[in-house]
A and B are shown apart, each in its own frame.
Chain A
């Protein structure tokens, strides 16, 4: 099953800004949008941004999601130690009639 492409790892310093990317195609990210999930070790994933780039209640305003063409992005400003986690994107693929995930990005806050 074709998945979405995410960089395996990103490292940034405390209080810096990290931008995570998720690349798909016109059948998934390009016309369906992508959700972003955060997962800390040993915990279930948590939704950070929905298909329309909206943050659920309780998600920090330091996080913002966007999309340009077939690439979705998640920007986290003013990095905190607790932002260190795995981040996954996911989108519905209309050609597969299936949901696809990215491989995940491990964000390290130095």
Chain B
């Protein structure tokens, strides 16, 4: 059974870089029919798509975040990662990873707080 697990610091200082990793278990990240993506949810708000990546390295990003986001993949570790630069308190959210395009498998989510 495919499982996704997010990991990374729960607290990031303003202006610094948020870094998260999603580890895929129970299946290979290198299946050609899937992309792997990040979605976030600020406290009390709805879902916001951040971006997605194919194991080949092809990426798509939310236009509103594109200048600050990099998503990368490590097929040897069966992981993909998110970097969000120059964070502010508006980036405080629960961050989820999910298999795309239908988002049929999700991680449990990890809470990231931006605060000094």
The chain A residues found within 8 Å of chain B, CB to CB, are: 1, 35, 37, 39, 44-47, 50-51, 56, 86, 88, 90, 92, 96-104
- B47 beta carbon closer than 8 Å to chain A: yes
Contacts of B49 in A (CB 8 A): 90, 98-101
The chain B residues found within 8 Å of chain A, CB to CB, are: 37, 46-49, 52, 60-64, 96, 98, 100-104, 106-109
Specify the chain A residue showing the minimal Cβ separation from B65.
Answer: A1
Tell me the smallest distance from the CB of A70 to a CB of chain B, in Å: 19
Distance in angstroms between the alpha carbons of A46 and B102 in the assembled complex:
11
B61, A98: Cβ atoms closer than 8 Å: yes
Specify the chain B residue showing the minimal Cβ separation from A56.
Answer: B104
The tally of CB-CB contacts under 8 A between chains A and B is 57
Distance in angstroms between the alpha carbons of A18 and B45 in the assembled complex:
22
A51, B46: Cβ atoms closer than 8 Å: no
Tell me the smallest distance from the CB of A33 to a CB of chain B, in Å: 10
Cross-chain contact of B63 among A47, A50, A98, A101 (Cβ < 8 A): A98
Contacts of A50 in B (CB 8 A): 102, 104
**Other CB < 8 Å A-B pairs besides A96-B63, A103-B46, 4 of them?**
A47-B103, A50-B104, A99-B52, A104-B47
Distance in angstroms between the alpha carbons of A56 and B103 in the assembled complex:
11
Contacts of A102 in B (CB 8 A): 46
Distance in angstroms between the alpha carbons of A1 and B104 in the assembled complex:
23
Tell me the smallest distance from the CB of B93 to a CB of chain A, in Å: 13
B64, A44: Cβ atoms closer than 8 Å: no
A1, B46: Cβ atoms closer than 8 Å: no
Interface centre among B60, B102, B106, B109 (most CB of A within 10 A): B102
B47, A47: Cβ atoms closer than 8 Å: no
Specify the chain B residue showing the minimal Cβ separation from A105.
Answer: B46
B47, A101: Cβ atoms closer than 8 Å: yes
Distance in angstroms between the alpha carbons of A83 and B103 in the assembled complex:
20
B102, A51: Cβ atoms closer than 8 Å: yes
